Amino acid sequence: MRNAVVVAVALLGYAPVVAACGGSSSSSGSTALIVSTTGSPASTVANSPLSAATTGQTALSSSSTAPTSTSSAVASGSPTAASELSIEQQAAAYALVIRDAFMRSENNRPPDVPGVLLVDHPEDGAGRRPLSIPATATGERFAVDLTESISQRLADLPLLGMVGSMAEVLGPDYHPTAPQTLRPGLLVIVSPITDSTEGLAIGVQVGPPGGVGWEYIVAVIGDTATIIDAQMTWVP
Protein backbone atom coordinates (compact mmCIF):
# COMPACT_ATOMS: atom_id res chain seq x y z
CA MET A 1 0.00 0.00 0.00
CA ARG A 2 1.28 3.43 -0.86
CA ASN A 3 2.25 5.60 2.07
CA ALA A 4 1.26 8.87 0.49
CA VAL A 5 1.23 11.79 2.87
CA VAL A 6 -2.10 13.54 2.50
CA VAL A 7 -2.53 17.01 3.90
CA ALA A 8 -6.11 17.70 4.92
CA VAL A 9 -6.80 20.44 2.45
CA ALA A 10 -9.00 20.43 -0.61
CA LEU A 11 -9.76 21.25 -4.24
CA LEU A 12 -11.80 23.57 -6.43
CA GLY A 13 -15.00 22.42 -8.06
CA TYR A 14 -14.85 21.57 -11.74
CA ALA A 15 -16.51 24.74 -13.02
CA PRO A 16 -14.22 27.20 -11.12
CA VAL A 17 -11.12 25.32 -12.30
CA VAL A 18 -12.25 25.49 -15.90
CA ALA A 19 -13.19 29.15 -15.59
CA ALA A 20 -9.87 29.87 -13.93
CA CYS A 21 -7.84 28.39 -16.72
CA GLY A 22 -9.87 29.48 -19.70
CA GLY A 23 -8.86 33.16 -19.66
CA SER A 24 -5.10 32.88 -20.03
CA SER A 25 -4.58 32.08 -23.68
CA SER A 26 -3.16 35.36 -25.00
CA SER A 27 0.33 35.18 -26.41
CA SER A 28 1.10 38.88 -26.08
CA GLY A 29 3.33 40.16 -23.28
CA SER A 30 4.50 36.64 -22.44
CA THR A 31 7.14 36.10 -19.82
CA ALA A 32 9.53 33.22 -19.40
CA LEU A 33 10.20 32.19 -15.84
CA ILE A 34 13.61 31.14 -14.55
CA VAL A 35 14.06 29.28 -11.28
CA SER A 36 17.46 28.75 -9.73
CA THR A 37 18.22 25.45 -8.03
CA THR A 38 20.21 27.37 -5.44
CA GLY A 39 18.21 28.20 -2.33
CA SER A 40 14.59 27.45 -1.64
CA PRO A 41 12.68 28.89 -3.17
CA ALA A 42 14.40 31.30 -5.58
CA SER A 43 13.07 32.61 -8.84
CA THR A 44 13.79 35.03 -11.62
CA VAL A 45 11.34 36.56 -14.05
CA ALA A 46 12.84 37.48 -17.42
CA ASN A 47 10.99 39.06 -20.34
CA SER A 48 11.11 36.60 -23.22
CA PRO A 49 8.30 36.04 -25.74
CA LEU A 50 6.87 32.55 -25.96
CA SER A 51 6.90 31.15 -29.46
CA ALA A 52 3.58 31.11 -31.26
CA ALA A 53 1.73 27.84 -31.69
CA THR A 54 2.40 26.11 -34.98
CA THR A 55 -0.31 23.46 -34.76
CA GLY A 56 -3.40 25.59 -34.15
CA GLN A 57 -2.96 25.44 -30.38
CA THR A 58 -3.12 28.65 -28.35
CA ALA A 59 0.14 29.96 -26.93
CA LEU A 60 -0.17 30.71 -23.23
CA SER A 61 1.13 33.78 -21.49
CA SER A 62 1.43 35.15 -17.98
CA SER A 63 0.84 38.82 -17.31
CA SER A 64 1.24 38.52 -13.55
CA THR A 65 4.49 38.60 -11.64
CA ALA A 66 5.97 35.71 -9.71
CA PRO A 67 4.58 35.33 -6.17
CA THR A 68 8.11 35.26 -4.75
CA SER A 69 10.78 37.93 -4.62
CA THR A 70 12.83 38.00 -7.81
CA SER A 71 16.55 38.01 -8.37
CA SER A 72 18.74 38.17 -11.45
CA ALA A 73 20.31 34.95 -12.70
CA VAL A 74 21.58 34.02 -16.12
CA ALA A 75 22.79 30.52 -16.89
CA SER A 76 25.47 29.62 -19.41
CA GLY A 77 26.49 26.27 -20.79
CA SER A 78 24.78 23.34 -22.45
CA PRO A 79 21.24 22.20 -21.59
CA THR A 80 21.00 19.04 -19.50
CA ALA A 81 19.28 15.97 -20.94
CA ALA A 82 16.38 14.40 -19.03
CA SER A 83 18.37 11.30 -18.10
CA GLU A 84 21.17 13.42 -16.64
CA LEU A 85 19.09 15.72 -14.42
CA SER A 86 20.01 15.76 -10.74
CA ILE A 87 17.29 15.71 -8.06
CA GLU A 88 17.66 19.47 -7.59
CA GLN A 89 17.46 20.11 -11.34
CA GLN A 90 14.29 17.99 -11.61
CA ALA A 91 12.81 19.88 -8.67
CA ALA A 92 13.66 23.21 -10.29
CA ALA A 93 11.95 22.18 -13.54
CA TYR A 94 8.84 20.80 -11.85
CA ALA A 95 8.48 23.72 -9.44
CA LEU A 96 8.85 26.13 -12.34
CA VAL A 97 5.97 24.69 -14.41
CA ILE A 98 3.72 24.13 -11.39
CA ARG A 99 4.19 27.74 -10.31
CA ASP A 100 3.60 28.96 -13.86
CA ALA A 101 0.40 26.91 -14.20
CA PHE A 102 -0.84 28.40 -10.91
CA MET A 103 0.03 31.94 -12.01
CA ARG A 104 -1.74 31.58 -15.34
CA SER A 105 -5.04 31.00 -13.57
CA GLU A 106 -4.45 33.65 -10.90
CA ASN A 107 -6.50 36.48 -12.42
CA ASN A 108 -9.63 34.41 -12.91
CA ARG A 109 -9.82 31.82 -10.15
CA PRO A 110 -11.82 32.58 -7.00
CA PRO A 111 -9.93 34.34 -4.20
CA ASP A 112 -10.48 31.51 -1.71
CA VAL A 113 -8.28 29.00 -3.58
CA PRO A 114 -5.49 28.48 -1.04
CA GLY A 115 -2.82 26.88 -3.22
CA VAL A 116 -1.85 23.72 -5.09
CA LEU A 117 -2.42 20.02 -4.43
CA LEU A 118 0.05 17.89 -6.38
CA VAL A 119 -0.44 14.24 -7.32
CA ASP A 120 2.66 12.62 -5.83
CA HIS A 121 3.85 10.80 -8.94
CA PRO A 122 4.29 11.68 -12.62
CA GLU A 123 1.65 10.39 -15.02
CA ASP A 124 2.26 9.58 -18.68
CA GLY A 125 0.03 11.78 -20.81
CA ALA A 126 -0.57 14.44 -18.15
CA GLY A 127 -1.10 17.77 -19.90
CA ARG A 128 -1.32 16.08 -23.29
CA ARG A 129 -4.68 14.33 -22.93
CA PRO A 130 -7.35 14.53 -20.19
CA LEU A 131 -6.73 11.89 -17.53
CA SER A 132 -9.54 9.97 -15.86
CA ILE A 133 -9.71 9.62 -12.08
CA PRO A 134 -8.68 5.91 -12.12
CA ALA A 135 -5.72 6.72 -14.37
CA THR A 136 -3.96 8.46 -11.49
CA ALA A 137 -4.60 5.79 -8.86
CA THR A 138 -1.22 4.07 -9.25
CA GLY A 139 2.27 5.14 -10.14
CA GLU A 140 5.78 5.28 -8.76
CA ARG A 141 6.02 8.14 -6.31
CA PHE A 142 8.56 10.91 -6.62
CA ALA A 143 11.74 10.20 -4.69
CA VAL A 144 11.62 11.57 -1.14
CA ASP A 145 14.42 14.07 -1.84
CA LEU A 146 12.60 15.28 -4.95
CA THR A 147 9.31 15.70 -3.08
CA GLU A 148 11.03 17.64 -0.31
CA SER A 149 12.80 19.95 -2.77
CA ILE A 150 9.62 20.64 -4.76
CA SER A 151 7.76 21.37 -1.50
CA GLN A 152 10.46 23.78 -0.33
CA ARG A 153 10.50 25.62 -3.64
CA LEU A 154 6.72 26.02 -3.60
CA ALA A 155 6.36 26.78 0.11
CA ASP A 156 5.28 30.35 -0.64
CA LEU A 157 2.70 29.37 -3.26
CA PRO A 158 1.86 27.38 -1.20
CA LEU A 159 2.04 23.72 -2.10
CA LEU A 160 -0.68 22.45 0.22
CA GLY A 161 0.40 18.83 0.03
CA MET A 162 0.86 15.68 -2.02
CA VAL A 163 -2.02 13.33 -2.79
CA GLY A 164 -1.85 9.79 -4.08
CA SER A 165 -4.50 10.20 -6.77
CA MET A 166 -7.21 12.46 -8.12
CA ALA A 167 -9.74 10.35 -6.19
CA GLU A 168 -8.27 11.53 -2.87
CA VAL A 169 -9.24 15.07 -3.83
CA LEU A 170 -12.35 14.55 -5.92
CA GLY A 171 -13.82 11.42 -4.38
CA PRO A 172 -14.63 8.26 -6.37
CA ASP A 173 -18.05 9.54 -7.45
CA TYR A 174 -16.96 12.96 -8.68
CA HIS A 175 -18.81 14.36 -11.69
CA PRO A 176 -18.42 17.69 -13.54
CA THR A 177 -21.59 19.18 -12.08
CA ALA A 178 -20.55 18.49 -8.48
CA PRO A 179 -20.88 21.74 -6.50
CA GLN A 180 -17.84 21.04 -4.37
CA THR A 181 -14.97 18.59 -4.04
CA LEU A 182 -13.37 17.06 -0.98
CA ARG A 183 -10.49 19.50 -0.49
CA PRO A 184 -10.04 23.11 -1.67
CA GLY A 185 -6.94 23.82 -3.78
CA LEU A 186 -5.79 23.65 -7.38
CA LEU A 187 -5.23 20.03 -8.41
CA VAL A 188 -2.09 19.57 -10.51
CA ILE A 189 -0.74 16.48 -12.24
CA VAL A 190 2.61 16.48 -14.04
CA SER A 191 4.12 14.15 -16.61
CA PRO A 192 7.60 12.66 -16.53
CA ILE A 193 10.33 14.94 -17.84
CA THR A 194 11.32 13.83 -21.33
CA ASP A 195 13.65 15.01 -24.06
CA SER A 196 12.29 16.76 -27.16
CA THR A 197 13.92 18.46 -30.12
CA GLU A 198 13.30 21.87 -28.51
CA GLY A 199 14.29 21.01 -24.94
CA LEU A 200 12.85 19.15 -21.98
CA ALA A 201 9.11 18.48 -22.26
CA ILE A 202 6.77 18.48 -19.24
CA GLY A 203 3.00 18.12 -19.44
CA VAL A 204 0.77 19.66 -16.76
CA GLN A 205 -2.92 18.95 -16.15
CA VAL A 206 -4.75 21.42 -13.94
CA GLY A 207 -8.15 20.58 -12.56
CA PRO A 208 -10.45 17.56 -12.60
CA PRO A 209 -10.96 15.32 -15.66
CA GLY A 210 -11.56 17.60 -18.61
CA GLY A 211 -9.77 20.52 -16.93
CA VAL A 212 -6.97 22.22 -18.84
CA GLY A 213 -3.77 20.76 -20.27
CA TRP A 214 -0.47 22.50 -20.94
CA GLU A 215 2.71 21.38 -22.65
CA TYR A 216 5.89 23.08 -21.42
CA ILE A 217 9.31 23.10 -23.05
CA VAL A 218 11.99 23.76 -20.45
CA ALA A 219 15.77 24.13 -20.55
CA VAL A 220 17.91 23.27 -17.53
CA ILE A 221 21.41 24.71 -17.68
CA GLY A 222 23.58 24.31 -14.61
CA ASP A 223 21.49 25.34 -11.63
CA THR A 224 18.81 27.17 -13.62
CA ALA A 225 15.54 26.02 -15.21
CA THR A 226 13.90 28.21 -17.86
CA ILE A 227 10.57 27.96 -19.67
CA ILE A 228 11.20 28.16 -23.41
CA ASP A 229 7.61 27.66 -24.54
CA ALA A 230 4.16 26.82 -23.15
CA GLN A 231 1.20 25.66 -25.20
CA MET A 232 -2.38 25.02 -24.15
CA THR A 233 -3.15 21.49 -25.36
CA TRP A 234 -6.88 21.39 -24.64
CA VAL A 235 -9.75 23.22 -22.99
CA PRO A 236 -13.12 21.65 -22.15
Considering only 8-12, 29-33, 67-71, 151-155, which range has the smallest mean pLDDT?
A: 67-71
pLDDT at 172: 75
pLDDT at 87: 97
Residue 216's DSSP bridge partners are 202, 230
pLDDT at 134: 87
E strands in 4-145: 31-36, 44-47, 58-59, 116-119
Q: pLDDT higher for 132 or 110?
A: 132
Task: Report percent pLDDT > 70 for the chain.
Answer: 63
Considering only 114-128, 141-155, 167-181, which range has the smallest mean pLDDT?
A: 167-181
**Does the pLDDT at position 213 exceed 70?**
yes
pLDDT 10s digits, 31-90: 333 333 333 333 333 333 333 333 333 333 333 333 332 223 445 789 999 999 999 999
State the Cα angle at 113 between 163 and 47, rounded to 5°: 95
β-strands 159-163, 186-190 pairing: unpaired
Across the chain, what does the average pLDDT equal?
A: 73
**Does the pLDDT at position 193 exceed 70?**
yes
Most confident of 21-25, 89-93, 162-166: 89-93
pLDDT category at 181 given cuts 50, 70, 90 is low
pLDDT 10s digits, 117-133: 999 999 999 999 999 88
pTM for this model (two decimals): 0.70
pLDDT at 24: 40
Can you tell me the mean pLDDT for 134-142?
A: 90
Q: pLDDT higher for 166 or 15?
A: 166
Distance, in Å, from the CA atom of 34 to the CA atom of 42, rounded to the nearest integer, reads: 9
Q: End-to-end alpha-carbon separation of the chain, Å?
A: 34
Distance, in Å, from the CA atom of 213 to the CA atom of 231, rounded to the nearest integer, reads: 9
**Does the pLDDT at position 100 exceed 80?**
yes
Considering only 20-24, 99-103, 148-152, 219-223, which range has the smallest mean pLDDT?
A: 20-24
E strands in the chain: 31-36, 44-47, 58-59, 116-119, 159-163, 186-190, 194-195, 200-206, 212-221, 224-234
Can you tell me the mean pLDDT for 168-195?
A: 82
β-strands 186-190, 200-206 pairing: antiparallel
